[in-house]
Amino acid sequence: MIPTPYYLIDEARLLENMHKIARLRELSGAKALLALKCFATWGAFDAMKPHMDGTTSSSLFELRLGREKFGGETHAYSVAWSDGEIDEAISYADKIIFNSLSQLDRFADKASHIEIGLRLNPRFSTSGFDLADPARPFSRLGEWDIARLEAALPRISGVMIHYNCENRDFDLFDQQLTRIESEFGDFLRKLKWVSLGGGIHFTGEGYPLEKLAARLRAFSERLGVQVYLEPGEASITQSTTLEVSVLDIVDNGKKVAIVDSSIEAHMLDLLIYRETAKLPQEGDYPYQVAGKTCLAGDIFGEARFAAPLQVGDRISVQDAAGYTMVKKNWFNGVNMPAIAIRRADGNGTVELIREFTYEDYASSLS
Ligand SMILES: *Cc1c(COP(=O)(O)O)cnc(C)c1O
């Protein structure tokens, strides 16, 4: 048995998402790029590559990882490129998307042999969190002024518009896309491609995939553009668990199970967005599941079990792929979860693909 803590990627579950992506591509004509900022566990890329067109990135390192480990189309985006990065960036990318007109002015000449795009901010979004809302006041994420967009025109062949956030509501997507068509349609018609970014939760239970495909196809035909999608969370949702073990149980008015992991170190988004982990909820024995760091609020959440917990019992925390492995850190020096994959080979073989040691911890600082 693999020692905890470890992230366990279920390849069969991952493939369910991949098959939905492949179907959407086929029905809509849109291309799908994995957003590496959400999920960059390259040990799982072999299962994903056949079903997606490539990757998109938010930095030079993500861009390079996409080129080297995933292949296919490689889009390069960064909120701001530095002089020291740009030559290397364009050596990996087949499209580079600048965030601002000033970055475009600065670097477009260097990138003139590949396709160039600009980020368009439609100034609305579906994000409920100010922290993650690209349309927040004074947002630095993209251009919206038509005169500035037009000024980019001779140099760009497309735009990237990322404005959805775990949007499960097709009707809302449809309405907002109509708004983009009416506000920016005349401009978009002059381009070859439009990326609609990520954040559409089309691999979720019950999402009307066919309607989405038809809507994307209509958008593409109306404007004469190749559509791209950049699914991050939708690519890997529900595919991965964080496997932990109970180290101690304390009872100070409430039973608290302390496990060999930490939300701050291993599931940071729970802390940032004040969410609780997806834990077992069946049975008569309630516990609070908490991490082992000295942060008082290092709490996964409330859970219920069929029997009283014992030291050594294992617990699976659901949905631990997106924005999770990419954010793990060495807070408190807690050992990083290993990474394992349950292969979709019929036998359910679990393969340990990466372990972390004291040397990794020490070498992350000096
Ligand atoms: C974050 C991001 C994505 C992926 O978003 P998900 O919500 O994980 O699908 C795609 N494109 C851009 C530009 C992003 O910033």
- Distance from residue 57's CA to the centre of ligand 1 (Å): 9
- Distance from residue 300's CA to the centre of ligand 1 (Å): 25
Cα distance between residue 100 and residue 140, in whole Å: 8
Cα distance between residue 57 and residue 39, in whole Å: 11
- Distance from residue 33's CA to the centre of ligand 1 (Å): 10
Q: Which residue has the tokens 């100034």?
A: 123
- Distance from residue 361's CA to the centre of ligand 1 (Å): 29
Nearest to 286 by CA among 251, 317, 311: 251
Compute the average pLDDT of residues 327-342: 98
Closest ligand 1 atom to Cα of 323: 8
Q: Residue 346 has what pLDDT?
A: 86
In our burial notation (b when 16+ CB lie closer than 10 A, e otherwise), range 89-124 reads bbebbebbbbbbbebbeebbeebeebbbbbbbbbee
- Distance from residue 200's CA to the centre of ligand 1 (Å): 9
**Which structure tokens are listed for 166?**
């775990």
Model pLDDT for residues 306-316, shown as the tens digit of each residue: 999 999 999 99
Nearest to 159 by CA among 198, 192, 185: 192
- Distance from residue 37's CA to the centre of ligand 1 (Å): 7
pLDDT band (50, 70, 90) for residue 128: confident
In this structure, the residue with its CA closest to atom 10 of ligand 1 is: 198
Residues 6+ apart with CB under 8 A from 145: none
User: Which of 38, 173, 203 has most ligand 1 atoms within 8 Å of its beta carbon, as the pocket-test mutant?
Assistant: 38
Compute the average pLDDT of residues 80-99: 98
Contact indicator for 120, 146 with CB cutoff of 8 Å:
no
Contact indicator for 308, 286 with CB cutoff of 8 Å:
no
In this structure, the residue with its CA closest to atom 8 of ligand 1 is: 232
CA 45, 50, 51, 54 torsion-angle sign: positive
Instruction: Calculate what percentage of the chain has a pLDDT beyond 90.
Output: 98
Average confidence score pLDDT of the chain: 97
Nearest to 67 by CA among 89, 86, 98, 39: 89
Contact indicator for 331, 264 with CB cutoff of 8 Å:
yes
Closest ligand 1 atom to Cα of 38: 8
Pocket of ligand 1 (CB under 6 A): 35, 37-38, 56, 77, 162, 165, 197-199, 230-234
In our burial notation (b when 16+ CB lie closer than 10 A, e otherwise), range 195-216 reads bbbbbbbbbbeebebeebbebb
Q: Residue 325 has what pLDDT?
A: 98
Cα distance between residue 7 and residue 4, in whole Å: 9
